[in-house]
Amino acid sequence: MQLSTPYSILMILALMSTGAVAQVPAEQQHAIDRIVGARGTYIADDRAYRIILPREAATIVQDYQTLSPNLGLNSWVTFSSAIHLEAILAGQFLLLEDEVNPVLATALDSGLEVTGLAASSLFDERPVFTLDINGRGSFQQLASAFRIGMDEIAKVRRARGSRRAATGTPSLPLDSSIDSRPLDAALSMRGTINGGAYRVAIGRRAVVHGELIGREMGVSTWFSFAGANDRAVVYGEFVEDKDDLQKVLRALTSKGIRVASIRNHMIGEEPQLVFVRFWSQGTALELAKALRYVLDVEVGAISLPDAEEDEFQSIPGFGR
Q: Are residues 149 and 38 in the same domain?
A: yes
Does the pTM of the predicted model rise above 0.85?
no
Q: Are residues 191 and 145 in the same domain?
A: no
130 residue type, one letter: T
161 residue type, one letter: G
Least confident of 1-15, 138-152, 191-205, 247-261: 1-15
- The predicted pLDDT at position 294 comes to 97
The parent domain of residue 302 ranges over 180-312
| In the chain, % of residues over pLDDT 70 | 78
Question: Is 306 domain-assigned?
Answer: yes
Question: Is 12 domain-assigned?
Answer: no
Residue 75 has pLDDT above 80, yes or no: yes
Question: Is 320 domain-assigned?
Answer: no
Nearest in space to 97 (alpha carbons), one of 161, 164, 154: 164
User: Of 89 and 316, which is predicted with more confidence?
Assistant: 89
Residue 307 has pLDDT above 50, yes or no: no
84 residue type, one letter: H
Beta strands, E only, 44-112: 48-54, 60-62, 65-66, 74-81, 87-96
Q: Are residues 136 and 187 in the same domain?
A: no
Asked which of 95, 127, 160 is the last residue of a domain, the reply is 160
Least confident of 108-112, 177-181, 211-215: 211-215
Question: Is 5 domain-assigned?
Answer: no
Question: Is 8 domain-assigned?
Answer: no
Split into its structural domains, the chain has a count of: 2
